[in-house]
């Protein structure tokens, strides 16, 4: 259950969940409440303006302030803005058309159209370090945390943002084009800007009731468990 205004919604497989009332989404005056109401905006609904240099610096600072076992900083970021973003959109378009030779040339290319239209795109790169005690798994988790902090910082500052993978995150030529090493992976592209005025009104997506995803640890009764 939640004490915030919501409606209960059934999921595809019958699981219950809820959607918050639109008016409480992205409540930004209280950090704890923000974390309970945060909501992304799909990239198709994001347009200019994006953050200015000072706002971008604050977003990136937040991205780098995450739990990171051993201070390995197993993540890095590539910013796409202005002409660089346009060039990357063109490059993605070409790459996709090479792979999809039969596609109509004027059809919008998936993901490339978002790179073209959203004012700030940030690729988050998982960049693990060889460490005798800290496995790559923990470093992946830290990278996910960096992505979420980045996303949340942007939304908390009033921007519209979305974390997407899409085909470019899994395409070997994209990784090569962006200069990734063989040990690195794209954790996602984070799109940041302003929610379009003509976007459909903000609404929630179904969230699980936390109680359905949580159990209480109960030590087993060893005597009862042991075979006679
Ligand atoms: C690693 C990762 C990759 C994602 N890739 C996509 C994607 O390619 N396309 C998409 O529509 N949503 C994608 N999502 C989902 C959205 O980021 C997000 O969950 C959805 O828009 C709802 O966001 P919210 O829970 O922040 O409101 C991805 C999420 C994660 C964590």
Each residue's pLDDT tens digit, 131-180: 999 999 999 999 999 999 999 999 999 999 999 999 999 999 999 999 99
Distance set, CA 181 to CA 76, 96, 107, 214 (Å): 12, 22, 32, 38
b/e 118-146 (16+ beta carbons within 10 angstroms → b): bbbbbbbbbbbeeeeebeeebbbbbbbbb
Residue 77 CA to ligand 1 center (angstroms) comes to 18
Q: What is the pLDDT of residues 116-130, one digit of tens each?
A: 999 999 999 999 999
Instruction: Tell me which fold the domain 40-201 belongs to.
Output: NADH Oxidase (3.40.109)
Residue 105 CA to ligand 1 center (angstroms) comes to 27
Q: Domain residue spans in the chain?
A: 40-201
Residue 192 CA to ligand 1 center (angstroms) comes to 13
- CA 16/CA 209 separation, integer angstroms: 7
pLDDT at 182: 98
pLDDT at 18: 95
Per-residue tokens: 152: 């949340």
What is the reported pTM?
A: 0.92
Taking the CA of residue 187 as reference, the ligand 1 atom at the shortest distance is 1
What's the whole-number average pLDDT of the chain? 95
Q: Where are the alpha helices (DSSP H) in 7-52?
A: 31-37
- CA 85/CA 87 separation, integer angstroms: 5
Pocket perturbation via mutation, ligand 1, pick of 43, 143, 165, 199 by most ligand atoms within 8 A of CB: 165
How many other β-carbons are positioned within 10 Å of the β-carbon of residue 85?
19
CB 77 within 8 A of CB 184: no
**Ligand 1 atom 5: the closest Cα is on which residue?**
164
Residue 162 CA to ligand 1 center (angstroms) comes to 7
């Amino acid at each position: 259950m939640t004490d915030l205004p919501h409606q209960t919604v059934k999921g595809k497989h019958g699981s219950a969940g809820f959607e918050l009332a639109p008016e409480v989404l992205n409540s930004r005056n209280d950090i704890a409440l923000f974390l309970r109401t945060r909501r992304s905006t799909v990239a198709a609904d994001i347009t200019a303006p994006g953050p200015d240099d000072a706002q971008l610096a604050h977003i990136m600072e937040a991205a780098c302030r995450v739990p990171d076992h051993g201070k390995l900083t197993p993540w890095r970021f590539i910013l796409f803005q202005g002409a660089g973003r346009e060039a990357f959109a063109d490059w993605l378009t070409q790459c996709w058309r090479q792979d999809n030779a039969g596609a109509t040339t004027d059809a919008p290319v998936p993901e490339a159209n978002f790179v073209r239209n959203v004012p700030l795109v940030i690729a988050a790169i998982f960049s693990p370090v060889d460490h005798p005690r800290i496995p790559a798994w923990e470093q992946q988790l830290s990278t996910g945390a960096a992505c979420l902090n980045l996303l949340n910082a942007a939304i908390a500052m009033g921007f519209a943002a979305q974390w997407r993978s899409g085909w470019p995150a899994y395409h070997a030529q994209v990784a090569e084009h962006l200069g990734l090493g063989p040990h690195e992976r794209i954790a996602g592209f984070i799109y940041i800007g302003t929610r379009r005025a003509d976007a459909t009104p903000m609404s929630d997506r179904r969230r699980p009731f936390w109680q359905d995803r949580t159990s209480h640890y109960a030590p087993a009764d060893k005597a009862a468990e042991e075979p006679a």
